[in-house]
Each structure stands twice: as C-alpha cells, then as structure tokens.
Amino acid sequence: MFCAKTDEEAVTKGLSGAQFFGFVFGWMHGHTTYGRDNVYREFRKRLDAEDSAQAREAATDLEPEDESARVLYRMGRRGMFMGSPTFIRENIRLYEAAHLDILNLFCQCGDRKHEDIMESLELFAKEVMPEFKDRHHLQQKWREEQLDGVKFPIHTSI
C-alpha cells in the first residue's frame, strides 16, 4: 500500500517497493536455492533490464504455472492499493462489499524512504480510513448474523 496525493506520486515513490514485495513471493514458489540466492540482486537485475522487450519476455517465462503462485508473482505490479486516497478508497469498497474481515496492507517494502512511508500512512489514516470506520458497525452486525447459532467462539472466519 502506498497512499499519496496523486496516483502518479504514489507510483513514483512506491512502485519499486511493491514490485520487490511481489517478486519475493513469486520467487519463493520454485526459484529458491537456499543459501545461494540473493533475491534482491535478482530483483535489481530484472528491474534494471525491465525496459527491454527481452526482459519482459523473460519475466513472463518465469511466471509460475500454479495459479496461486502466479497471482503472487504478479503482485509486484501496481495493484489496487497504490494511488491517491480516492483510488485506494474505491478499491477498498470492493472488499468491504464482499464482507472481508481483514485487509492487511504492507507499506514498508523495498527501498521506500521512511519519510515517504510515514506521509503515506498519515494520508491513509486521515483520508481513507474514516469512511470505513464510520460503517464498521454494519460489518460487525452482518458478521454476527452470519455466525448466529454457532456454539463455539469464532476468532476468524477463515
């Protein structure tokens, strides 16, 4: 997650961190040689060569066949939570509509500057979170209705 005043600023400041985060998860599904791999060095090689058509083809060739692994591999692209408060809010609404219990957002990934991360968190807290906090009681009510009659304490719906 990276929240900035504009989509362009968010992508400029946050994209490489998101790409590294996604690359690591994709790398762990089949490419790992423990004790020998330097994942960040491999990431930088691909990032530095990204402008060439050959690099794009090579990245596609490395995509795992397993659908779950492929999703993780592709996570390094912009995604739904890097942009302006409006962009992020609109995407979180989709998860809210599906009654998602928890949404984990990571912002301290890759080479992002501490100051940029703190500004992102502050903007997110001031301009994105309040809308969802105001409606949280509706989610709680829906969850209680779904779990009505369950005899055991539920700490998660997963």
pLDDT tens digits for range 19-29: 888 788 777 77
Domain boundaries, the chain: 2-146
- Here the tokens at position 99 are 């009654």
Give me the pLDDT at residue 116, please.
96
Whether the Cβ atoms of residue 42 and residue 32 lie closer than 8 Å to each other: no
Q: pLDDT (tens digit, 9 = 90+) per residue, 112-142?
A: 999 999 999 999 999 999 999 999 999 999 9
Assess whether pLDDT exceeds 90 at residue 9: yes
In this prediction, residue 28 carries a pLDDT of: 76
Query: Is the model's pLDDT at 7 over the cut of 80?
Result: yes
pLDDT of residue 41: 85
pLDDT in tens, 43-99: 888 777 665 556 555 555 666 677 676 656 655 556 789 999 999 999 999 989 998
pLDDT digits (tens, 9 = 90+) for 32-53: 777 888 888 888 887 776 655 5
**pLDDT for residue 17 is more than 90:** no
Residue 2: pLDDT band (50, 70, 90) is very high
Lookup: tokens for 70? 């492929």
